[in-house]
Structure 1
């Protein structure tokens, strides 16, 4: 699965439910689904997810680049989900565009809320995480490296690892990478508003050194012929 996920193909590089169905049922037995996709249409992704969930064989999902947005939903259909050590997984709230009056805007908000609930179903089934915690991760647009995805249950292991991740030692904990736009914004605001005790204890900066205006005028007069 490469490129964006869409209901129909316009540029030839999209993954569509129709094309995926043809390839999925072209054979039988266990399958491997490779994913490197930024996501796309959530309804198309839901259709592909449902195909994989209903597939009779063992489904191994391998994320070798990126499984973001709607692509992360498809990844959750794997019987086993493996990630490259340098792959990323991103989850966030669904988005749409709406035009119209206030009633149309409210209907769009309601629709997005229901779409989010459907996405949460897929994440909850895979990870067994608390639904409220998953919702907060989506609110914050959370990016995870392979280790963090495995830690939270979005993935089960690494793609052909040379050696597994070392267990974190109490004296030297190994932190997994997780990026949240909300966390970054809050950290920046805290840094701007913070004032260190050392800075508070220092006297105000002295005014810049210089010469009086009268001295400069006298020096200019002395230069006149």
Structure 2
């Protein structure tokens, strides 16, 4: 990922927090079938390894897991808030007009080589942890144990799990740091005034 130094996220806690905040990641591999990508909810164990370890699962019918089994390196993309930045947000537009549109965003890329597993107990632990994470906060959270055991057993046979120790992390937080304080304030105010929730989320990060 192209990351000028003033946009780089270097703090491990901040990098891991973006991973935790991203509900659906994109896992990209290159193997015998070429480039493949899947959108997956992932579980981060931040204390496993120097950068943490990611856990997830594929549908067994999805051939991408075979690339991981064959040792292909994976790129996992965690996309955060993003927003279009209009030149009209910049006070400097009125001064000299030398402004163009851009895009502000936050993203983290994780790289590693995964271990694939099909052990039923390990898969059950994984899907239970993922479920508990995403059901948290609901009035009546659903649990894996709520479904009939034989049904869950059958469903586990239809998936393939993986553990991906993160070998390298890259993070980018592009929030107009390369602009003047007045232009930064103009972008923040312009996005905050937008009715679009994505724009508002990005404006919040610029505070």
Q: TM-score band, normalised by the shorter chain?
A: under 0.3
Larger Rg: 1
TM-score with structure 1 length normalisation? 0.20
Q: Which has the higher strand share?
A: 2
Higher relative contact order (CA 8 A, sep 6+): 2
